[in-house]
Amino acid sequence: MRILVVNGPNLNLLGIREPEIYGRRDYTALIAFITETAGREGIETECFQSNHEGAIVDKIQSALGAFDGIVINPAAYTHTSVAILDALKAVGLPTVEVHLSDINQREAFRKVSYTSLYAEKTIVGLGFEGYRQALLYLKSRLGG
Ligand code: CA2
């Protein structure tokens, strides 16, 4: 089973500021966590991060025929991007949306998620653990 993990803008800066919201661990630690967790579950992952909406759309499009599912934290694009929503819909793969923080307990604009209009499941507020739960959900969903 192959899962594409997509992380959006500024997540590459994890750990440098706002530890009370996003934790103290950095992006390298997040990728190590995802890769190790997936490996233990027999899941192959590719992790992709971009600060550019179009690059994220391109990556999602390239998942067709190459991956069985998608885990995505679109970061700020969660709240603005119809293009990412449309790409997910077009590709049609089972998708789980993850947020490190609880977007429902923050500013009003973060309560809106375009991604969640397609994602089968949205996991918020669990930090790195949210990615583990997303992978486990897709494993079970895909019969793995
Ligand atoms: O909670 C999440 O995972 C978010 O997707 C993170 C985004 C935010 O825009 C979403 O509303 C919720 C922000 C990602 C990175 O933000 C940083 C902020 C300061 C220092 C480093 C990263």
The residue whose CA is least distant from atom 20 of ligand 1 is 17
Q: What is the mean pLDDT of the chain?
A: 98
Cα-to-centroid distance, 109 and ligand 1 (Å): 13
Asked if residues 22 and 13 have their Cβ atoms less than 8 Å apart, the reply is no
**Nearest atom, ligand 1, residue 21 CA:** 1
- The catalytic residues are 22, 99
Q: Is 117 helix (H, G, I), strand (E, B) or coil?
A: helix
DSSP per-residue string spanning 70-113: EEEE-GGGGGT-HHHHHHHHHH---EEEEESS-GGGS-GGGG--
The pLDDT > 70 percentage for the chain reads: 100
Cα-to-centroid distance, 11 and ligand 1 (Å): 6
Look at the block and give the residue holding tokens 């895909």: 142
Q: What type of residue is 127?
A: G
Q: What tens digit of pLDDT does each residue of 3-53 get?
A: 999 999 999 999 998 899 999 999 999 999 999 999 999 999 999 999 999
Which of 16, 30, 53, 78 maximizes ligand 1 atoms within 8 Å of its Cβ, making it the mutation to test the pocket?
A: 78
Instruction: Give pLDDT, residue 144.
Output: 79
Q: What tens digit of pLDDT does each residue of 97-128 get?
A: 999 999 999 999 999 999 999 999 999 999 99
**Nearest atom, ligand 1, residue 75 CA:** 5
